[in-house]
A and B are shown apart, each in its own frame.
Chain A
Amino acid sequence: MSDRLGTYLLKDRRTGKEVEATLWQSIDDRHVEDFAQKWKPIFETRKTELLKRGALTAEIAGEHNLQDSHWEWMRKVEQRRDGLAWASFAVEAEDVTQGLMFVRMDAFAREPSQRNKPIVDIDLVATAPWNRFRLVAEPQFKGIGRLLLAAAISLSVHEEFNGRIGLHALPQAESWYRDVCGMTDLGIDGTGMRYFEMTEAQAKAFVS
């Protein structure tokens, strides 16, 4: 059962208008359904294109478990729904899931000033395909990533972690987390991705 955390306004880049969005804590069946029925077909179409052009081989797809028709999300939702260490969030607008986030609460900080203190670790932040710069020419909604990051910080404060959060950013999102969100860049780690952390002071600045 999802809890409604609040109503916010996203900007629709296509119309220039504000659109009401609801932030939910805990991903529900309908969000999973949206992923399966509305997000996944767009990813699948892209995957088919890549296969057709020879850019993605069945072997590579297999290596990354992309042959799984339900992708990773479905499995993760099922596995994590009841896990005490996990929390999930969804953003809905126009009756469709626009963004999803999974976080874990059993992680510890690496940044020297807060090393080994508990943090909320963002395992996954994803926006719907039609909100992505690299998938569509004119992505629709703006504000989803910021809202979900604010939710992670709020959870961190609620858990008495003082706003401390961590995440691994995609290359094209690195400047967002470092330069706009003010997170500390701790370099590329064993995941091959750049790891960022937000301290208590940085979290306060972000939500102010």
Chain B
Amino acid sequence: MEMLVSQDWLRRKVETDPDTDSDAGPFIMVLESIGMFLPPDVTPAETQAPRVVEAFGVLVRQFRRQKQWTVEELARRARVDAEDLRQIERVPQVRPRPRIVHQLADVMGLPERALLKLSGAAVTRDQHFEEESMLFAAKSDDMSKLSRDEQLALNEFVKFLTDQAK
């Protein structure tokens, strides 16, 4: 078999390629699903404080309302199932799969690691993180349009999550 690419081809491409993972295949997914590739400071959750998980649903809902998107619109943009999104927004006990969290992190422009902690896909022992999450969830009201206070709370919480990645 002859390779169709040269040494120079790889050198050029490597210079411009983004730094990202390229793993593929169902076997490697088994390792992924047990948390083998999660960052060292987070591990898959057996249990998670319910209010922290609730904050994830609130965050997704607030983000969607801020954008004035329907559930279907957010689902389309994140390439996830709309029913999964409804469950995330409405049922605090739901712990979304890491893939969904990854897709939502992409669309929301938020660090995946922070969202994994918030979603219950990974457990955190960071008390400050839990307190901030619960505070945010408590400030939420389910009006159709975000109030000014909710908007401020959302902005502050998004900044907090973003700072987590620094």
Asked whether B23 lies within 8 Å of A154 as measured between CB atoms, the reply is no
Which A residues from 156 to 174 make CB contacts under 8 A with B?
157-158, 167-174
Contact A168 B29 (CB under 8 A): yes
Q: Mark A71-106, 1 if CB is under 8 A from B, else 0.
A: 011001000000000000000000000000010000
Q: Which single member of B7, B9, B123 contacts A207 (CB below 8 Å)?
A: B9
Q: List residues of A whose CB falls within 8 A of some B CB.
A: 3, 5-11, 13, 18, 23, 25, 43, 46-47, 49-50, 53-57, 60-61, 64-66, 72-73, 76, 102, 122-127, 132-135, 139, 142-151, 153-155, 157-158, 167-177, 180, 185, 191-194, 207
Cα-based distance from A151 to B10 in the complex (angstroms): 12
The 9 tightest CB contacts between A and B, nearest first, are A145-B22, A124-B25, A134-B37, A55-B43, A171-B99, A143-B14, A171-B102, A167-B24, A158-B1
30 A–B contacts from the bound complex (CB under 8 Å): A8-B7, A9-B7, A10-B10, A10-B14, A50-B43, A54-B46, A122-B24, A124-B25, A125-B28, A127-B22, A132-B23, A133-B21, A135-B36, A146-B17, A155-B1, A158-B1, A167-B24, A168-B24, A168-B29, A169-B23, A170-B37, A172-B21, A172-B23, A172-B112, A174-B102, A175-B20, A176-B20, A176-B21, A176-B22, A180-B20
Q: Does B134 contact A (CB under 8 A)?
A: no
Contact, CB under 8 Å: B35 / A56 = yes
Residues on B with C-beta less than 8 A from A65 are 30
Contacts of B33 in A (CB 8 A): 64
Q: Contact residue range for chain B?
A: 35 or more
A56 and B7 contacting across the interface, CB-CB below 8 Å = no
Q: Is the CB of A180 within 8 A of B34?
A: no
Residue of A nearest to B37 (CB): A134
A-chain residues with CB within 8 Å of residue B9 when the two chains form the complex: 150, 207
- Report whether A135 and B1 are in contact in the complex, using a CB–CB cutoff of 8 Å: no
A194 to B21, CA, bound (A): 15
A to B contact number (C-beta, < 8 Å) = 179
Instruction: Give the interface SS of chain A, mostly helix, strand, loop or mixed.
Output: mixed
Q: Is there contact, CB below 8 Å, between A172 and B102?
A: yes
Nearest chain B CB to A175 CB, angstrom units? 7
Known pairs A126-B25, A170-B28 / 20 extra A-B pairs, C-beta < 8 Å? A8-B10, A11-B15, A18-B11, A43-B36, A50-B34, A55-B44, A65-B30, A123-B26, A125-B25, A127-B23, A132-B23, A134-B39, A146-B14, A154-B5, A158-B1, A168-B29, A171-B99, A172-B23, A177-B24, A194-B99
B1 touches A122 (CB 8 A): no
When the two chains form their complex, are residues B103 and A171 in contact, meaning their CB atoms are under 8 A apart?
A: yes
Bound complex: CA A72 to CA B14 (Å) = 30
| Residues of chain B in range 62-93 having any CB-CB distance to chain A below 8 Å | 79
**A194→B106 CA distance, assembly (Å):** 16
Q: B34 to A61, Cβ gap below 8 A? A: yes
Task: List chain B residues, Cβ under 8 A from A153.
Answer: 4
Could you tell me if A56 and B34 are in contact, using CB atoms closer than 8 angstroms?
yes
Q: Once the chains bind, are B19 and A168 in contact (CB under 8 Å)?
A: no
Known: A125-B23, A170-B24, A175-B20. A193 touches B5 (CB 8 A): no
